[in-house]
Amino acid sequence: MHLVKAASGAVLALVLSACSVADNAGGVTTEMLVNAASDNADWLTYGRDYAEQRYSPLDQINLENVGELGLAWHADMDTARGQEATPLVIDGKIYVTTAWSKVKAYNAATGEPLWDYDPQVPGETAVKACCDVVNRGLAAYGDKLYLGTLDGRLVALDRETGKEVWSKVTVDQSKPYTITGAPRVVAGKVIIGNGGAEYGVRGYVTAYDAESGDQAWRFYVVPGGPEEEGTEPEYLAKARETWNGEWWKLGGGGTVWDSMAYDPELDLLYIGTGNGSPWNQAYRSPGGGDNLYLSSIVAVRPETGEYVWHYQTTPGETWDFTATQHIMLADLEIDGRTRKVLMQAPKNGFFYVIDRETGELISADNYVPQNWTTGIDMTTGRPIEVAEARYDKTGKPFVSTPGAGGAHSWHPMAFSPSDGLVYIPVIEAAFPYFPEANWKPDAKRGFNVGIDQAAGGMPAVEAVREGAAASTKGALIAWDPVTQTERWRVQYPGPWNGGLLATGGGLLFQGTAAGQFKAYSASDGSEKWSFAAQTGVIAPPITYSIDGEQYVAVMAGWGGIWALAPGGILNETSGPVPNISRLLVFKLGGTDKLPDAPPLVRRPLDPPAFTGDPAKLTQATYDYGRYCGACHGDAVIGSTVLPDLRRSAVLNSAESWQMIVHDGALEQNGMVSFADSLSKERIEGIRQYVIFRANQDKQMGGIGAQE
């Protein structure tokens, strides 16, 4: 299950020496990053420290006085899409990224704007983004900030002025790569991954010199084409033995689009890798195989990118069960001795505790109900799969719990050392996998996942819709990683609730899909405070201190994949919320007020009559599912973030519809031309399908119409 190489003490000494040389006097240093857990004032890196625990010892705001917490200041953002970023706080200034990869700096105590930076990401890049045009944050080192942009650049900014210092294109921009994750800085190198496995790419991480921007190394997650055989590193040669067919033609996947962590003592960088491209292994790797290093946690040397060990959570991945979810490090007492562990709750529904020095699996148990396995074989470390779950082999549909959305997505967890608990923002939702016979990839547009994305669409049947909504939920759970048991739970009516922050004040902060920002007791989950944020809060909070005063900050703004693809039946189980994007900052006795929230107004559901050929609806339904549904909602049940096509005035005009979908009239907004994939006849077929669906929902008296 895992291979191990040991680093000599001499190599480790050289790495630490190199770190010291690379440090910039007067700015953020390697020493500061290594010791970030003891810095109570700032928030220097994505997870606060290299262990990514998202725990702050600050306790001025605590269980006794959190009821006095008030808004200190707020800042409106200029992007109305999902806000997922973790702010950084350095020397009294707060730095945030927004949707479309923009950066803003403020005085962290007063909210005074200091500067902003717009990388001018082309609007058409949105078509490459599976999961909204989001960005999760920055890295800091020396006098610079580092940003990954949606169109695949790594940009260094002067931290004081926001001026661009250097910019490097990290991907082949002719392919559907994107960057939404936050970079990390280790050993004077900026490390960045990428996304795009839903469309067809090969995943990797790249390290760049923090000062010059020169590339230091690149680590590919999956093997390349036949031309690389015999010249590739040993770890890729071993991986090649676990693949079949011509996977390289669609990249193979394995993108590192989110989580990383670093252990300075072991000098190991841990990366989480993503799903296969396409999902359906029957098309990606006919005949099976583990398909290394998909859905894995991989340990590498940050100085060189050398492979050290891996643990694969989902061998032969075929369900979009990524292992890109939050990786967290801690030292735990297990069976009478202290273990250096790595913890992860990936999409597949199991919580893993792994020896972070060797990659040995210590324990694993499901943290949500699941039906794709009967458990984990602790001898091999592999899931014991249920035969029916392998839709890629049976050729039959399978409804999986968890589904492609995962039991836990990108939303960060938190760890409380005092309580010994990991807090997980959980998703409870099933997903139907319908294998598609004779599937063919489309290198130009649309998802390339190897399943029929329309076959599992929400039917126009009230009872089915109500049942699906009732079974789709979210939760905040406190998990004991030593005993692998749930300690307590806060149940939510819907998924896609925010990331987490634990503090020394005994508090746990989290935003919700329903538009609340809440504080709970970390020990028992009792609610202690709530603030009406006027929009869904999905980003993780942070806390910091200036002149002895503690602040809590969070980005607010509904969006991300769950706010788009599942459609309003499922993504509004917590209630419909608009996107009102802001940075919210709180302190004890804060007196700032948000302006009154504008009413959520939707266009009437008043479609024209269906005039299409009923015999062509099957093809049109398929086309919509493959090319449109990820943004405009399953079964054309739109969201509050992007246009609900059932309500669009453009439905009334075949000519206007063609101008947008065929000609790309709204390309600058992300609605690019689909002429390379769809004929005008099929584009008109999609319009007629949308009209058909809109009339169905209107006749159902508003089910799915959200009137």
> CA 312, CA 683: separation in Å to the nearest integer?
41
Residue 541's CB is within 10 A of a number of other CB atoms, namely 28
* Catalytic, out of 23, 267, 320, 697: 320
Which one-letter amino acid corresponds to residue 11?
V
Torsion of CA 681, 682, 683, 688, to 10 degrees: 90
Task: Please give the structure tokens belonging to residue 116.
Answer: 């902003």
Beta bridge partners of 86: 137
> CA 554, CA 69: separation in Å to the nearest integer?
14
343 three-state secondary structure: strand
The distance between the two most distant Cα atoms of the chain, rounded to a whole number of Å, is 76
> CA 258, CA 604: separation in Å to the nearest integer?
39
499 three-state secondary structure: coil
Q: Is 258 a catalytic residue?
A: no
366 three-state secondary structure: strand
Q: Who's near 400: CB < 8 A, 6+ residues apart?
A: 319, 371, 372, 389, 430, 431, 432, 433
Q: Between the CA of residue 597 and those of 210, 580, 594, what are the distances in Å?
A: 42, 9, 8
> CA 235, CA 220: separation in Å to the nearest integer?
10
> CA 129, CA 565: separation in Å to the nearest integer?
12
Which one-letter amino acid corresponds to residue 382?
R
Report how far apart the first and last C-alpha atoms of the chain are (Å, whole number). Answer: 52
Beta bridge partners of 55: 502
By C-alpha distance, which of 162, 150, 256, 156 is closest to 210? 156
Tokens 């949308």 correspond to: 690
CB 654 within 8 A of CB 565: no
To 10 degrees, what angle do helices 680-699 and 617-627 make? 100
269 three-state secondary structure: strand
CB 29 within 8 A of CB 23: yes
By C-alpha distance, which of 295, 306, 239 is closest to 269? 306
Task: Provide the CB-side half-sphere exposure for 413 (13 A, CA).
Answer: 31
Which one-letter amino acid corresponds to residue 204?
Y
Rg, the chain, Cα only: 24
Which one-letter amino acid corresponds to residue 112?
E
Tokens 């707020």 correspond to: 74
Tokens 């991480």 correspond to: 205
> CA 305, CA 308: separation in Å to the nearest integer?
9
Which one-letter amino acid corresponds to residue 370?
Q
- The DSSP result for 423-446, as a single string, is EEEEEE--EEE-BPTT----SSSS
Residues composing the chain: 707
Which one-letter amino acid corresponds to residue 427?
I
Q: Who's near 455: CB < 8 A, 6+ residues apart?
A: 397, 432, 434, 436, 625
Give the distance from CA 532 to its chain's centroid: 24
> CA 149, CA 146: separation in Å to the nearest integer?
10
Tokens 């055989």 correspond to: 229
Task: Provide the CB-side half-sphere exposure for 98 (13 A, CA).
Answer: 24
Task: Provide the CB-side half-sphere exposure for 420 (13 A, CA).
Answer: 12
| Residues involved in catalysis | 320
